């Protein structure tokens, strides 16, 4: 078992990575949580696959789990879903001393974490991520959020979990689309900080992707741990983790979170921003070609879809990385080296309108 400890301003929390560790999840939690009442937040797909197992694991350890199931997909990260979960917990006698376990992908992690960060001014919180994207990225670092119609993750908090439990065997039941979705975040780490990881992905035979999954998860978690420890509250270098995301979030929201998954949109965003970087002289010539080639290899889209430019600029300007002076865009100088460029509204209009 691999254990990676993440240090935060509120202390540290362990990330456990091991095949079949789901069976031991309740016993791990039992070591730090002594109450019987516990909430397991999940979605319909995960519940259908693992619901009876996770419930029995917790009951065997003496817990009395309340399982709350929400609809799959980004639309569940809404104010109405958040309110319903809060009301359900209150009606069932939960207090701030009780624990929420987010058992699902990035949506469930963000949603459960945001409920935990706000209800009763803070409940206890643990993540058991079930998708590649959530295992390599969103379950680490303490960002939790819900969406508004105006944009993604606009209501949120920094609220680290007490523990993250990663069972890479859970990835075997993922649809192929969501393995591909998660690979966008793996590729992102290679683009912004780890050239050797990018080169490994270039050389890897895709047929052997699952044989290397533990390595990829551990590598990405370690990279993110180092970045978030340096900049916990996303005011400096942690912003590089948003490479491809500013444009990706525009695509997701413009198509109402229905046409593109998060990873698919981020992949398009990485391709778009790297091509723009080459156009304006920030990015080494040839980087865009390499990124497009690796996106093709792992089945990710790179072609920017039809989007109204005025709507695009409007969404960019309310991005959570922005303020009155503009928005921080993440470019790469070359594979493995990211840079942050602050751009004002006029500059954004100039570049976006001509791209």
Query: Looking at the domain 2-172, which fold is it?
Result: Rossmann fold (3.40.50)
Question: Is 36 among the annotated ligand-binding positions?
Answer: no
262 among annotated binding-site residues? yes
Full 3-state SS string of the chain: CEEEEEEECCEEEEEEECCCHHHHHHHHHHCCCCCCEEEEEEEHHHHHHHHHHHHHHHHHCCCEEEEEEECCCHHHCCHHHHHHHHHHHHHCCCCCCCEEEEEECHHHHHHHHHHHHHHHHCCEEEEEECCHHHHHHHCCCCEEEEEECCEEEEEEEECCCCCEEECHHHHHHCCHHHHHHHHHHHHHHHHHCCHHHHHHHHHCCHHHCHHHHHHHHHHHHHHHHHHHHHCCCCCCHHHHHHCCHHHHHHHHHHCCCCCCCHHHHHHHHHHHHHHHHHHCCCCCCCHHHHHHHHHHHCCCCCCCCCCCHHHHHHHHHCCCCEECCEEEEEEEEECCEEEEEEECHHHHHHHHHHC
pLDDT of residue 319: 73
5-25 pLDDT per residue, tens = 999 999 999 999 999 999 999
What are the residue ranges spanned by the domains of the chain?
A: 2-172, 177-354
Does 143 count as an annotated binding residue? yes
Residue 281 annotated as part of some ligand binding site: no
| 12 labelled ligand-binding | no
Fold of 177-354: Dehydroquinate synthase-like, alpha domain (1.20.1090)
The predicted structure's pLDDT at residue 27: 98
> Is 286 among the annotated ligand-binding positions?
no
pLDDT at residue number 323: 64
The pTM (predicted TM-score) of the whole model is: 0.95
235-259 pLDDT, tens digit per residue, is 999 999 999 999 999 999 999 999 9
Q: How far apart are CA 26 and CA 41, in angstroms?
A: 14
Predicted local confidence at residue 157, as pLDDT: 97
Is residue 289 part of an annotated ligand binding site?
Answer: no
Q: 106 labelled as ligand-binding?
A: yes
Q: Is 130 annotated as a binding residue?
A: yes
pLDDT in tens, 282-334: 999 999 999 999 999 999 999 999 999 988 988 898 876 666 678 999 999 99
Q: Which residues of the chain have pLDDT under 70?
A: 320-324, 353
pLDDT for res 350: 84
Q: Binding residue per annotation — 185?
A: yes
76 is in an annotated binding site: yes
Annotated binding-site residue? 75? yes
Q: Is 152 annotated as a binding residue?
A: yes
Q: Look at residue 284 in the predicted model and tell me its pLDDT.
A: 98
| Residue 66: per-residue pLDDT | 98
């Amino acid at each position: 078992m691999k254990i990676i400890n993440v240090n935060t301003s509120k202390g540290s929390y362990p990330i456990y990575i091991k095949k079949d560790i789901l069976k031991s999840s309740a016993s791990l939690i039992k070591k730090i949580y002594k109450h019987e009442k516990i909430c397991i937040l999940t979605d319909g797909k995960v519940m259908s696959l693992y619901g009876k197992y996770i419930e029995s694991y917790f009951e065997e350890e003496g817990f009395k789990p309340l399982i709350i199931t929400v609809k799959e997909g980004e639309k569940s990260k809404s104010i109405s879903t958040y309110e319903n979960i809060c009301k359900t917990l209150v009606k069932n006698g939960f207090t701030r001393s009780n624990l929420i376990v987010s058992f699902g992908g990035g949506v469930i992690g963000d949603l459960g974490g945001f409920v935990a960060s706000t209800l009763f001014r803070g409940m206890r919180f643990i993540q058991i991520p079930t998708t590649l994207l959530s295992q390599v990225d969103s379950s680490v670092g303490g960002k939790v959020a819900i969406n508004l119609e105006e944009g993604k993750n606009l209501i949120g908090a920094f609220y680290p979990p007490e523990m993250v439990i990663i069972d890479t065997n859970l990835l075997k039941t993922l649809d192929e689309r969501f393995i591909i979705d998660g690979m966008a975040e793996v590729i992102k780490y290679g683009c912004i900080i780890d050239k050797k990881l990018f080169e490994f992905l270039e050389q890897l035979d895709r047929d052997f992707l699952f044989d290397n999954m533990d390595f990829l998860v551990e590598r990405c978690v370690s990279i993110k741990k180092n970045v978030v420890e340096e900049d916990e509250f996303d005011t400096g270098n942690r912003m590089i983790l948003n490479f491809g995301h500013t444009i990706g979030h525009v695509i997701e929201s413009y198509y109402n979170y229905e046409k593109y998954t998060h990873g698919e949109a981020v992949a398009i965003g990485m391709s778009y921003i790297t091509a723009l970087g080459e156009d304006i002289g920030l990015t080494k010539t040839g980087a865009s070609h390499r990124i497009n080639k690796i996106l093709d290899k792992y089945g990710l889209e790179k072609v920017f879809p039809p989007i109204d430019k005025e709507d695009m600029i409007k969404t960019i300007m309310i991005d959570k990385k922005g303020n009155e002076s503009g928005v921080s865009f993440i470019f790469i100088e070359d594979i493995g080296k990211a840079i942050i460029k602050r751009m004002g509204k006029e500059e954004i209009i100039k570049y976006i309108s001509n791209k």
